[in-house]
Amino acid sequence: MTSLPASVGDTLDLLRRGNYVGDRSLATAVYLSLTLNRPLFLEGEAGVGKTEIAKVLAETLGRRLIRLQCYEGLDVASAVYEWNYSRQMIEIRLAEAGAESRDTVEEEIFSDRFLIKRPLLQALEPELGAPPVLLIDELDRTDEPFEAYLLEVLSDFQITIPELGTIKAKEPPIVVITSNRTREIHDALKRRCFYFWVDYPAAERELEILRVKAPGAAEQLSREVVAFVQKLRATNDLFKLPGVAETIDWAHALTQLDVLALTPEAINDTLGVLLKYQDDIAKIQGSEAQRLLTQVKQELASVG
């Protein structure tokens, strides 16, 4: 286990050690969340590396990562805890045979033994070592009732199970919440968090990311890939802009195909890695790709 970073600069180094290339602004938000024990709320388009931040934090800080993937209808039984009903039934049968009093049975079957712990409860459970990293992924996919429940958990870091009592975390876990913004999360929840909008990285930063994440790609190729993707993001008439994850995938794909520098053919063959909507592909494929590529090559040549 590593101790928490002592400054924003340390946080930046920490992320870098986990192969995460981020801006100082992000490091500030992460640092605040770590030192002041408040959840970190990350919002941004798909594929800009929100989930990765939690993973990197868990890895570099040597904490356990507990992940709660949200979906519509996520309820207490799958997010917090559930009783093991079949075992409880068996226990009741056995107790009947042994003629125990009802009170004893009740106490018995609602004990820790029959409790199935789900991510939220796991994150609050006292355990050996430091508190874990709790990743609540894609919160926007769940519905408002769950959000309201989460509000209670995240403000006091405690959960009440009617049959058992209240379970409170000795030390609050490091909480990272992500959202793709398919709907707005209520202000009440955001208010309790440090908010950060994860944006598409600037060209320079993206190149740095590519060097770390796709070290196999030729330098020339990486430069062109980044410049091309940046151009695509600037065109502004695509329905879904490519994220950093797509850039990395694309560089990997091109490397696998032994491409050393972008050509119109290589782009047309692999555009599906970068763009995920048929309309967008149709718009870019062919002449538009060629036009953008020519621009990219010119610009790179002029820079040297």
Scanning 55-63, 164-172, 174-182, 208-216 for contacts with other proteins by CB under 8 A, the matching segment is: 174-182
Residues in 211-240 that interact with other proteins by CB under 8 A: 237, 239
Among 2, 17, 19, 73, binds other proteins (CB under 8 A): 73
Among 157, 194, 200, 250, binds other proteins (CB under 8 A): 194
d(CA 60, CA 81): 29
What does the alpha-carbon distance between residue 42 and residue 189 come to, in Å, rounded to a whole number? 12
Binding to other proteins by residue 3, rule CB under 8 A? no
CB 84 → other proteins: shortest distance, Å? Answer: 10
218 vs 238, which CB is nearer to other proteins? 238
Q: Which stretch binds other proteins (CB under 8 A): 33-41, 117-125, 216-224, 262-270?
A: 33-41
Question: For other proteins, what does the binding mask look like between residues 245 and 274, x meaning CB under 8 A?
Answer: ------------------------------
- Work out which of 10, 59, 140, 156 binds other proteins, going by CB under 8 A: 140
Separation CA 58–CA 154 (nearest Å): 19
Among 64, 195, 231, 264, binds other proteins (CB under 8 A): 195
Contact with other proteins (CB under 8 A) among 3, 101, 166, 182: 182
Residue pair 102/182 in contact by the 8 Å Cβ criterion: no
Nearer to other proteins, 152 or 239 (CB): 239
Taken in order 193, 61, 171, 152, is the CA torsion positive or negative? positive
CB of 106 to other proteins, least distance (A): 5
Phi, psi (deg, nearest 5) at residue 167: -110, 125
* CA dihedral angle for residue 298, residue 299, residue 300, residue 301, rounded to 10 degrees: 50
Q: Which of 25-33, 58-66, 267-275, 291-299 is the region at the interface with other proteins (rule: CB under 8 A)? A: 25-33
Side-chain-side CA neighbours of residue 117 (13 Å): 16
- Two structure tokens written together for 195: 């908010």
Site for other proteins in 77-96 (CB under 8 A): 77, 83, 85, 88-89, 92
Q: Which residues 6+ apart lie within 8 Å of 217 measured at CB?
A: 210, 225, 251, 252, 254, 255
Residue choice 97, 102, 166, 303 for contact with other proteins (CB under 8 A): 102
19 sits near other proteins (criterion: CB under 8 A) = no
Q: Output the smallest distance, CB 285 to other proteins, in A.
A: 16
Q: Residue ranges of the alpha helices (H) in the chain?
A: 8-17, 24-36, 50-61, 76-79, 85-98, 102-109, 119-124, 144-156, 187-191, 203-213, 219-235, 244-256, 264-274, 278-284, 287-303
Q: Show the CA angle centred on residue 180, arms to residues 176 and 185, nearest 5°.
A: 75
Residues 6+ positions from 122 with CB-CB distance below 8 Å = 66, 132
Rg (CA), the chain: 24
Q: For residue 23, give the 3-state DSSP assignment.
A: coil
- Residues in the site for other proteins, rule: CB under 8 A? 7-8, 24-25, 28-29, 31-32, 35-36, 38, 43, 71-75, 77, 83, 85, 88-89, 92, 102, 105-106, 109, 140, 143-145, 180-184, 187, 190-191, 194-197, 237, 239, 279
